[in-house]
Amino acid sequence: MTTSAAIRHHLLSVSDYYRMAETNILTEDEHVELINGELFDMAPIGSFHAGLVTRLSRLLINRLGDLAIVTVQNPLYLSEFSAPEPDIAVLKPRADDYMQSLPTAQDVLLLIEVADTSLHYDRHIKLPLYAKHQIPEVWLCDVKEKRLDIYQHPDNDYYRLHLRPKPNEEIQPLFGHSISIDWQGLFSY
């Protein structure tokens, strides 16, 4: 009777990931993100996706002012093996604007993912990761269906509350700050 040798699986750490970039193993042209120790290719960003990210970030920056920091497609340090790059992160204010270290899950007030071709990836890979790390709220903007899904109250690797606002229904993020957003207007041009 023969036994098969154990298959070893080598995971990349965040420090490995950044070393790969520093040594040009990964270049600026390679759009990847590190999730659970594995590199995932990120889909190219089309004009509607880019415009929606711009619209959302401008709206949030204007409404929040200095109450929060809004970043666009910047990495989060979630663990030794995960540094995703959400489309938008609304973060707790910090004097150094996160120059000394990447934001962590504890710094996040809201994450927004805009999904065109990445809907399955965002919903089935990134959303459970965010829940596992206790990100309090995630919005998933479905570009094709012009729909918004709101996920709140993380519990292990899923969210206990999933909301889908009706057209023209205003939404207010959990972190409050008295901002309301007409989400249906986000998709119009």
pLDDT exceeds 60 at position 2: no
Can you tell me the distance from the alpha carbon of 125 to that of 121, in angstroms, rounded to the nearest whole number? 5
Can you tell me the distance from the alpha carbon of 130 to that of 157, in angstroms, rounded to the nearest whole number? 8
**Confidence bin at 155 (pLDDT 50/70/90):** very high
pLDDT exceeds 90 at position 168: no
The pLDDT mean for the chain works out to 91
Can you tell me the distance from the alpha carbon of 84 to that of 69, in angstroms, rounded to the nearest whole number? 17
Instruction: For residue 65, give the CATH number of its domain.
Output: 3.90.1570.10
Give a yes or no: residue 16 inside a domain.
Answer: no
- Number of domains into which the chain is organized: 1
The whole-number pLDDT of residue 1 equals 52
* Residue showing tokens 């711009």: 54
| DSSP character at residue 87 | S
* 150 to 1, 123, 160: CA distances (angstroms): 53, 11, 11
Q: Measure CA of the first residue to CA of the last residue in the chain; give whole Å.
A: 67
Give a yes or no: residue 100 inside a domain.
Answer: yes
Q: Which helix (H) or strand (E) holds 71?
A: strand 69-72
Give a yes or no: residue 13 inside a domain.
Answer: no
Can you tell me the distance from the alpha carbon of 119 to that of 147, in angstroms, rounded to the nearest whole number? 12
Tokens of 126: 């990134």
Give a yes or no: residue 37 inside a domain.
Answer: no
For residue range 110-136, list pLDDT tens digits in order. Answer: 999 999 889 999 999 999 999 999 999
Contact 118, 43 (CB under 8 A): yes
Give a yes or no: residue 117 inside a domain.
Answer: yes
**Confidence bin at 185 (pLDDT 50/70/90):** confident
Domain range spanning residue 157? Answer: 45-172+179-186
Q: Which of 10-19, 26-35, 100-109 has the highest mean pLDDT?
A: 100-109
The residues near 104 (Cβ < 8 Å, ≥ 6 apart) are 76, 77, 78
| DSSP track, 113-151 | EEESS-HHHIIIIIHHHHHHTT-SEEEEEETTTTEEEEE
Give a yes or no: residue 72 inside a domain.
Answer: yes
Query: Exposure pattern of 74-97 as b/e (b: 16+ CB <10 Å)?
Result: ebbbbbebbbbbbbbbbbeeeeee
**Confidence bin at 181 (pLDDT 50/70/90):** confident
Helix (H, G, I), strand (E, B) or coil at 111: strand
pLDDT exceeds 80 at position 24: yes
**Confidence bin at 89 (pLDDT 50/70/90):** very high
The whole-number pLDDT of residue 128 equals 97
| 41-65 average pLDDT score | 91
Q: What is the pTM of this model?
A: 0.91
> To the nearest whole percent, how much of the chain has pLDDT over 70?
96
Tokens of 35: 């999730």
The whole-number pLDDT of residue 3 equals 58
